[in-house]
Structures are given as C-alpha cells and as structure tokens.
Structure 1
Amino acid sequence: MFILVNLKAYPCDPIEVATAARDVAEASGVRIAVSPQAADISRVADTGVETWAQHVDPNGHGSHTGSTLAEAVAEAGAVGTLINHSEKRLKLADIDGSVQAAERAGLETCVCANNPAQIGAVSALGPDSVAVEPPELIGGDVSVATADPGIVTDAVDAAANVDEDVEVYCGAGISTGDDVVTAEELGASGILLASGVAKADDPRAALEDLVSGL
C-alpha cells in the first residue's frame, strides 16, 4: 500500500510531518509520501521523505504568471503530483494537459475524481494512478471505505476496464489503520489522506497507526 499525505494549506509544521513520515516509512517498509504547499517542497524533500506537489498546471515555460510549473516542482525535489483534487478542480482538457506536463517533467501522477464514472474518464488520460474521493466525505470522520465500499470497488473496476496499469487509491475520511486495511481489501493499492495526519496532535503516532495493519 502507498500512503500519500496531503498537507493542503493546514497550519501544520511540514518538516515535522515529513520527518515522521520518513521515519515511519523506513521502520515499516511501507511507502509513504508527503504533499506540502509548493513553497515548502524543497524543505520537505530535503528531509529525505518522498515528496509530491499538490498540483501542476498544464502549461510549460513562458508567460504564465501564477502557474505551478511541473519542471519547477520537480527541480525543487518533488517526484510526483496530485492533479484535479476536489479542492482544485480542472476541466478535462486541463487535466490531460497537466498529466502531460507532469510526465514531461518526470513526475508520477495521481488524478483525483469524485466517483467511479469520473475515475474511468480520467484513467483514459494515462495517469499513473487515480484517487476516488467523494467530496462529502473529505475532511470527515468516516472513510469512504466504510461509508460506501461500493464506490471503491466500482472505482477499481472502472479504472481496470480502461487501463489495467492505472492504480487506484482510496481517499476521503481515511484516518486509521483499520481504514487502510479495509481500503486494501476493497482493491485499492494506496490511500490519500490529509487531516488524519496533518491535523493530528501527534503526526508520528497517526502514521504509525495507519501502517499498523500492513
């Protein structure tokens, strides 16, 4: 299982979370990555933890003020990027452009989507992975794997029907080791979470709990 921790714009200490994630990954053998704000990518990458960007724009170099350039986040130390998170929605053409931009910069890609139908659509764009995240469960206390396991299994099937090489991650409400085990049992190969770690009083303990059943 792959655990991807999105720090969003939460007022957490990205270095504390990154260091904890690095140490728990090394101790458990579980792949764990941290996705900080763009301004913190370099500092987080310097801890040695696997580092992802929260977003990249579809454009390349040029007159694009305010854009997040795929090449720039790669140079800062990111090795992957989220695309089309529920809080950073893109049009389908821009998702395609962002996937291509990320691939051009050598970044691994995870495209987020609300439901299995959208999972199928974005899987056709050739990302490395997709994450199913019902918006109503994001940031909540109930995981999608528990609230509606059919969404996860249907998302896995939808992606496989388009491209068997696209991995499916489970997001929204994931916060415990039991959630991770349930997601794995439903066919997900990773999880995407935020508040369960970023807002935890003890991020290291939260991460240790997440990997406890793996």
Structure 2
Amino acid sequence: MFVLVNLKAYPCDAVAVAEAAATVADDTGARIAVAPQAAHIEPVAETGVETWAQHVSSSGHGSHTGSTLAPAVADAGATGALLNHSERRLKLADIDGSLRAAEDTGLDTIVCANNPRQVAAAATLGPDMVAVEPPELIGSGTPVSRADPDIVRDAVAAADEVNPPVPVLCGAGITSGDDVEAAADLGSEGVLLASGVAKADDPEEVLRDLVSGI
C-alpha cells in the first residue's frame, strides 16, 4: 500500500511532517510520500522522504507566468506529481499535457478522479496510478470505503477494464489504519489523505496508525 500525504495549503510545518513520515517509513518499511507546496519541495525532499508535487503544468520553458514546471519540481527533489485533484481540476487535454511533461521529466504520476467513469478516462491516458476521490467526502473524516464502498470496487474494475497495469488509490476522508485496511480489502493499492495528517497534533502517531495494518 502506498500512502500519499497531501499537505495542500494547510498552515502546517511541512518539514516536521516530512521528518515524521520519513521516520515511520524507515521504521516500518511502508511506502509513504509527502506532497507539500511547491516552495517547500526542496526542504521536504532533504528529509529523505519520498516527495511529490501537488501539481505540474503542461507547459514547458517560456513565457508561462505562474506555471509549475515539471523540470523545476524535479530539480527541487520531487519524484512524482499529483494531477487533477478536485481542488485543482484540469481539462482532459491539460491532464494529458501535464502527464507528458511529468513523464518526460521522469516523474511518477497520479491522476485523481471523482468517480469510476472518470477513473476509466484517466487510466486510458497512462498515468502510473489513478485515485478515486468523491469531492463531497474530502476532509469529511468519513472514508469513501465506508460511505460508499461500491465506488472503490467499481473504480478498480473500471481501471482494470481499460488499462490493467494501472493501480487504483482511494482518497477522501481517510484518517486511520482501519480506513487503509478497508481500502485494501476493496482492491485499492494505496490511499491519499491530507487533513488527517496535516492538521494532526502528532503527525507521526497518525502515520504509524495508518500503516499499522499494512
């Protein structure tokens, strides 16, 4: 199971969370990654934790003010990029362009989707992983694996039908090791979460619980 912690724009100490994640990953052998704000990628990567960008643009070098270039985040230490999160929606052509930019730079990719049909569409583009995250459950504390487990099952089936090698991750409302186990039982190969770790008083304690059943 892969655990990706998206720090979004929460007012947390990104380096402290990264250090906690690196410690738990080293102690348990679990694969844990952290996706900080672009400005924090380098110090987060310096902790040794697997580091992802929250987004990369489809554009390359040139007059593209405000773009987040794939080569720039890679130079800062990121090894992957999260695309099409429900808070950073992209058009299909832009998803494809961002995927190509990430791949050309050697970054791993996850494309987020709201439902199984969108998972199928995302999987056809050939990312390394896809993630199903119903927007209404994001930050709710209620995991999709409990609120509507069929969404996870159907997402796994949808991806398998169009592109079998692409694993499906489960996001939205993940807060505990029980949620991670439930996601795995439904066929998910990893989880995305944010506030459960980013807003925690003790991120290391939460992370240890998350990976306890892996």
TM-score (norm 1): 0.99
One-letter amino acid matched to 2:175: S
5+ residue gaps, structure 1, are: none
Q: Whole-Å Cα distance in 1 between the matches of residues 162 and 204 of structure 2?
A: 37
One-letter amino acid matched to 2:103: E
5+ residue gaps, structure 2, are: none
**Which aligned segments of 4 or more residues in structure 1 are displaced greater than 6 angstroms?**
none
In the alignment, which residue of structure 2 is the partner of 1:99?
A: 99
Q: Does 1:25 align with 2:25?
A: yes
Q: Does 1:84 align with 2:109?
A: no
SS of the residue corresponding to residue 120 of structure 2 reads: helix
- Count residues with an aligned counterpart: 214
> Residue deviations 1:113-160, cap 9 Å, x none?
000000000111010000000000000110001111000010000001
> Residue deviations 1:21-52, cap 9 Å, x none?
00000111110000000000000000000000
In the alignment, which residue of structure 2 is the partner of 1:210?
A: 210
RMSD in angstroms over aligned alpha carbons? 0.4
One-letter amino acid matched to 2:86: S
TM-score (norm 2): 0.99
One-letter amino acid matched to 1:121: A
In the alignment, which residue of structure 2 is the partner of 1:114?
A: 114
In the alignment, which residue of structure 2 is the partner of 1:177?
A: 177
Q: Whole-Å Cα distance in 2 between the matches of residues 19 and 107 of structure 1?
A: 22
Q: Whole-Å Cα distance in 2 between the matches of residues 31 and 73 of structure 1?
A: 20
SS of the residue corresponding to residue 58 of structure 1 reads: coil
In the alignment, which residue of structure 2 is the partner of 1:16?
A: 16
Residue 213 of structure 1, CA deviation: 1.2
SS of the residue corresponding to residue 56 of structure 2 reads: coil
Q: Whole-Å Cα distance in 2 between the matches of residues 87 and 161 of structure 1?
A: 27
Residue 62 of structure 1, CA deviation: 0.9
SS of the residue corresponding to residue 78 of structure 1 reads: coil
Q: Write the mapping of 1:1-214 to structure 2, written as runs, cut at 5 A.
A: 1-214=1-214
Q: Whole-Å Cα distance in 2 between the matches of residues 84 and 127 of structure 1?
A: 12
SS of the residue corresponding to residue 142 of structure 2 reads: coil
Q: Whole-Å Cα distance in 2 between the matches of residues 47 and 81 of structure 1?
A: 18
> Residue deviations 1:174-213, cap 9 Å, x none?
0000000000010000000000100011000000010111
State the identity %: 68
Q: Whole-Å Cα distance in 2 between the matches of residues 127 and 162 of structure 1?
A: 12
Residue 54 of structure 1, CA deviation: 0.0
Q: Whole-Å Cα distance in 1 between the matches of residues 28 and 86 of structure 2?
A: 30
Q: Whole-Å Cα distance in 2 between the matches of residues 64 and 165 of structure 1?
A: 34
Q: Whole-Å Cα distance in 1 between the matches of residues 57 and 38 of structure 2?
A: 12
One-letter amino acid matched to 1:208: R
